[in-house]
Chains A and B, each alone.
Chain A
């Protein structure tokens, strides 16, 4: 590292931004939300019979939980928008994969 940076100059390898605590209130709130959704999952599982709608609800709840985990626990909300975009935009490929297999997956039932 000494080879690359002089004192007082920006050091790309060892640079660490200054961070501050935002308190723990928000974190406990997110924990209660995640806990609540998991309990709701449990309740809906027994309240509703197996159906496509129930699956959609479960996947929607999964995405809501993902939003809170990534946004609050992983501090994505506090990151620069450029960083958020380079992580979130490639998720399009996952959506493409799901779409592709939902469409092509029909062929799997045909060969059986």
Chain B
């Protein structure tokens, strides 16, 4: 092989002849991309299964069988008893998108080898991820409190309930009455817990990884190494978590 001690001779090497990185990325980053690709398959399988279950349960002679997301995820902390569909989950989406931005700012600071800024933005990212997990824990606990179980579904809406929900406006007082609810399709809550739980687990591992690299960056490990590539790799994972949430949000709450 030719001697490629300088950048110029490296660039002149043929791409696929060996002796250089054909994708011009590090090994770790390429492997992270492949992990994310396989993870994308896992999440899309789960979401497609959700879609299949949902749209096969869409209508009955009486009313819509599949529970109405707006009727269930309509709570907001400290605003008890008000009908506020989509508001809390939009706040969660904002938190996650914003933590993605601070992550990418940390990556950018890493390109400039600014250790102080990397640590600062990584701390924001960790806080954002933790805030998201807290929101999800709150959401789950309210959902379970309202009667969500893995082996059944009491969120089916009766004709009376459906009529009531048509007249309900954003911000109105709301409390379930037993006449509005009936048994619905069984997999509703199980699918919610599995998909948001699997996503939440990804957020959790992402937060753990972010904490680890924040500490490493603060202790100057990357400074000694000469590059902040680890921030980029963890960043890819973190953006992927954000990306998955975009679709979980779309399919579970919007549609």
Contacts and interface: CB of A to CB of B under 8 A. Distances in A.
A105 B52 contact: yes
B236 A20 contact: no
A99 B36 CA distance: 22
User: Size class of A's contact patch?
Assistant: 35 or more
Contacts of B108: 21-24, 27
B221 interface: no
B236 A112 contact: no
B111 interface: yes
Given A101-B48, A105-B56, A10 B239 contact: no
B94 A35 contact: yes
A54 to B, nearest CB: 8
Interface in B208-255: 227, 229, 232, 235-236, 239-240, 242-243, 246-247, 249-250, 254-255
Interface string A1-42: 000000011101111111111111001100100110010011
Contacts of B26: 14-17
A18 B3 CA distance: 19
B239 to A, nearest CB: 5
A69 B235 CA distance: 11
B30 A83 contact: yes
Which of B26, B41, B97 neighbours the largest number of chain A CB atoms within 10 Å of its CB? B97
B27 A97 contact: no
B247 A98 contact: no
B105 interface: yes
Contact of B250 (A8, A9, A62): A62
B239 A87 contact: no
A107 to B, nearest CB: 9
A82 B37 CA distance: 15
Nearest to A69: B243
A79 B100 contact: no
A10 B30 contact: no
A16 B104 contact: no
Interface in B50-71: 51-53, 55-57
A73 B105 CA distance: 9
Contact of A61 (B57, B236, B243, B250): B250
Given A9-B4, A98-B44, A108-B56, 10 more contacts: A19-B229, A24-B108, A38-B94, A38-B97, A69-B242, A73-B100, A79-B25, A80-B24, A83-B25, A97-B44
5 contacts: A16-B26, A58-B250, A66-B247, A80-B23, A87-B33
